[in-house]
Amino acid sequence: MPLEGHYERQTTPLYKLSARERRAAFWALIATLAAMLAVILFTVSDSNPGPAQGCIRSQVAGIVGAETISACGQEAVQVCTRASHFEGARAETIVADCRAQGVRF
């Protein structure tokens, strides 16, 4: 059976924050939110734009994982011509990227 005043004693906080401690916690929260907002705003932009006209950049399956095939100009024509002689997902991806970028092969 609970004793008189037992609930109040058990639920009363041991220590109440002072006005100075509340202000410090508030400014720490503001600084943290500002830092998080700055990180989000600086990382939103596109850091990997698409290839220039006449260049290709294909993401294909490699031995260990994704492999990036990048080439421009005559090298892109050679890569596209070589890929057009093969069959399979890798070659089809390269040829599709060549056509999308307007590389003639």
Question: Quick one: which of 105, 78, 92, 104 has its CA closest to 70?
Answer: 78
61 and 91 housed in the same domain: yes
- By CB atoms closer than 10 A (0-12, 13-18, 19+), residue 22 is exposed
12 and 37 housed in the same domain: yes
Q: Which domain holds residue 15?
A: 6-43
Establish if 33 belongs to a structural domain. yes
pTM: 0.54
Establish if 22 belongs to a structural domain. yes
Give the tens place of pLDDT for each residue, 3-41. Answer: 787 888 888 888 889 999 999 999 999 999 999 999 999
Establish if 25 belongs to a structural domain. yes
Give dist(CA 28, CA 65) in Å, integer: 43
Question: Quick one: which of 74, 104, 80 has its CA closest to 93?
Answer: 80
59 and 21 housed in the same domain: no
Task: Decide which of 83 and 105 is more confident.
Answer: 83
Domain count, the chain: 2
37 and 68 housed in the same domain: no
For residues 71-88, one letter each, b for 16 or more C-beta atoms within 10 angstroms of the residue's C-beta and e for the rest, the string is bbeeebbebbeebeeeee
Establish if 63 belongs to a structural domain. yes
Rounded mean pLDDT of 33-56? 86
